[in-house]
């Protein structure tokens, strides 16, 4: 059983109000959850599903990276990529689109590191949503954020939650 599977099976960690990830040393990292964060996750997932219904939307997608298991807040994954891993405790390959809702406590270098980890694990795009709902789209092999997504060009540049 992998360390991540042990974490998932640990009853004492089941109902914590935190997002749990690990680092490369199998140390547990916890981030507190908030309602506004969850609201953006829901809106992003709903919008992705509406615009790209042929794939699967994952909330809290556990992804194996070179720095432990990271959990994307929202992800879009093709059915072909998803199917072999649908019963896994974590994905050995990143979904095509990984989305992070950036909390005020997240450091810029931490988020830049996650972008690189998701790309190294196979993501094609990594999106960031700030606390005002503004979206940044990072594309594989492009240094600066793009004006829009390649996979989902109709995705809005700002998520409105009312």
Find, among 11, 131, 101, 20, the residue nearest to 68 by Cα.
20
- For the chain, how big is the Rg over CA atoms in Å? 15
| pTM for the structure as a whole | 0.86
pLDDT digits (tens, 9 = 90+) for 61-78: 999 999 999 999 999 999
Domain definitions of the chain by residue range = 33-139
How much is the pLDDT for 17?
61
Q: CATH code for 33-139?
A: 3.90.1570.10
């Amino acid at each position: 059983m992998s360390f991540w599977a042990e974490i998932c099976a640990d009853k004492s960690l089941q109902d914590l109000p935190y997002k749990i990830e690990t680092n490369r040393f199998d140390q547990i990292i916890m981030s507190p959850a908030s309602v506004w964060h969850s609201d953006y996750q829901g809106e992003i997932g709903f919008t992705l599903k509406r615009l790209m219904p042929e794939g699967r939307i994952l909330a809290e997608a556990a992804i194996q990276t070179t720095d432990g298991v990271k959990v994307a807040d929202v992800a879009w994954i093709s059915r072909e990529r998803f199917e072999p891993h649908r019963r896994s405790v974590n994905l050995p390959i990143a979904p095509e689109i990984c989305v992070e809702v950036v909390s005020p406590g997240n450091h810029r270098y931490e988020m830049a590191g996650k972008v690189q980890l998701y790309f190294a694990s196979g993501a094609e795009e990594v999106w960031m949503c700030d606390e005002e709902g503004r979206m940044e789209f990072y594309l594989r092999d492009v240094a600066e954020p793009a004006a829009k997504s390649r996979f989902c060009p109709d995705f809005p540049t700002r998520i409105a939650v009312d």
